[in-house]
Structure 1
Amino acid sequence: MNATGIQQAEECGEFLKTLHWDVVITSPLKRAKQTAEIINKRLQIPLIEMGEFVEKSFGDAEGMTVEERMKAFPNNAYPNQEDNKLLKIRVMKGIHKINEKYRNKKVLLVAHGAVINSILGTLSKGEIGSGKTKLINACISNIQFFEEQWSVNNFNQISHLSGV
């Protein structure tokens, strides 16, 4: 994680500490986990890793910069990448696990762009999310389960970030 990412995580933590949270859930992958740990320095609540929220596998394009990907795969078709339908199933299985275990609790999920877009796309029935929403690093999205129904209250919020 670079200096900008660390600063953004610290700003998230500072903003989020003013709200009540019961648990932080994070992807076990390095950047998300580091982000969650930095945020949780301010919150001081249980931090749980869940494999359901690892980033989408981009197959042969994994680890490439944007420029490298555009050169190698100008049509954005990355061989051996994780299927979007399988990603959605995996991620939503995780969301349902969280909802079962932490019902009526405020859960902070720290995850990756494709994971967040998959959640937003699923819950909004495709109105926002993958292919429609360009998420900004360290943005905050708010989803809610109320009266047996999911809703997206807001997404891609960045008012807590300086320099954006």
Structure 2
Amino acid sequence: MTTITFVRHGITDHNIENRAQGHTQNPLNATGRAQAGLVAKRLAKESWDVFISSDLRRAKETAEIISAEIGKPVDFYDERLREMDRGMIADTIEEERVQRWGEKWHELDMKQETHESMRARGLHFMEDIAARFPGQKILVVTHGYFLGQTLKELMGDETTGEKMRNTSVTTVYLDSSKWCYSLYDCIRHLEEAKDPVL
């Protein structure tokens, strides 16, 4: 059975500030590194055939921490796993956007990636990886909004994929030609920690 386990990267200062990240190369913060360490220990209890990560810094750092714990290098970095491209608003918060472009900035063309484009590349990734690694257990480090949109498209369900939490674990498996969940947005590795790093 082909299974793909997604891990959202650890938290960043941009997450806390609600600053648009997109394709920016911002790093994990101290809490994010601690979160990655906890999810790494959890993932080390299982064996993995293939390990893939987004090439953006916050995902790469998360993947490197996991790699050291599970004893398996990242097999390859895949640009299809990148977060939504935020275009001109990348690295800004709402207040800055209003100052630059006015309160109706969202009505302007900010060169952001469309949901349709993001979902299409997410689905393409899933179809490609399932075809290349049939019957294998695949670990993937990616980004919250991209993952949520991919899951909506994959499952044909607009109620899923909402607000995926940092270092949450979501596993899907291929049953005949249909993808199903076996785990969704699970953060028990954070909840079980003596000093929670939520």
Structure 1 residue identity aligned to 2:159: E
For the residues of structure 2 that align with 1:37 and 1:73, how far apart are their CA atoms? 40
**2:177 alignment partner in structure 1:** 148
User: Is the aligned partner of 1:95 residue 2:126?
Assistant: yes
Structure-1 separation of matches of 2:182 and 2:105: 31
Question: Given the superposition, is the C-alpha separation of residues 63 and 102 from structure 1 closer, same or farther in structure 2, using an over 3 Å criterion?
Answer: same
Paired-residue identity, %: 28
1:123–1:152 CA contact under 8 A, matched in 2: no
- Report runs of 4+ in structure 1 exceeding 2 Å deviation: 65-78
Question: Unaligned 5+ residue runs, structure 1?
Answer: none
Judging changes above 3 Å, is the alpha-carbon distance between structure 1 residues 59 and 100 closer, same or farther for their aligned structure 2 residues?
same
Matches within 5 A, 1:19-38: 19-38=46-65
Number of residue-to-residue matches in the alignment: 161
Q: How many angstroms apart in 1 are the aligned matches of 2:104 and 2:184?
A: 28
The alignment's TM-score, normalised by the length of structure 2, stands at 0.74
CA shift for structure 1 position 75: 6.4
> 1:79 Cα shift?
1.7
Higher relative contact order (CA 8 A, sep 6+): 2
Rg larger in structure? 2
* Structure 2 unaligned blocks of 5 or more: 1-27
CA distance in 1, matches of 2:118, 2:98: 22
**1:82-135 deviation digits (Å, cap 9, x = unpaired):** 010011111111111111111111111100112110222112212312xxx112
CA RMSD of aligned residues (A): 2.0
Quick one: distance in 1 between partners of 2:105 and 2:31? 27
Query: 1:32-70 CA deviation, whole Å, 9 max, x = no partner?
Result: 011111111111224111111111111121112465457
**Partners of 2:61 and 2:124 in 1: CA distance:** 23
Counterpart of 2:149? 118
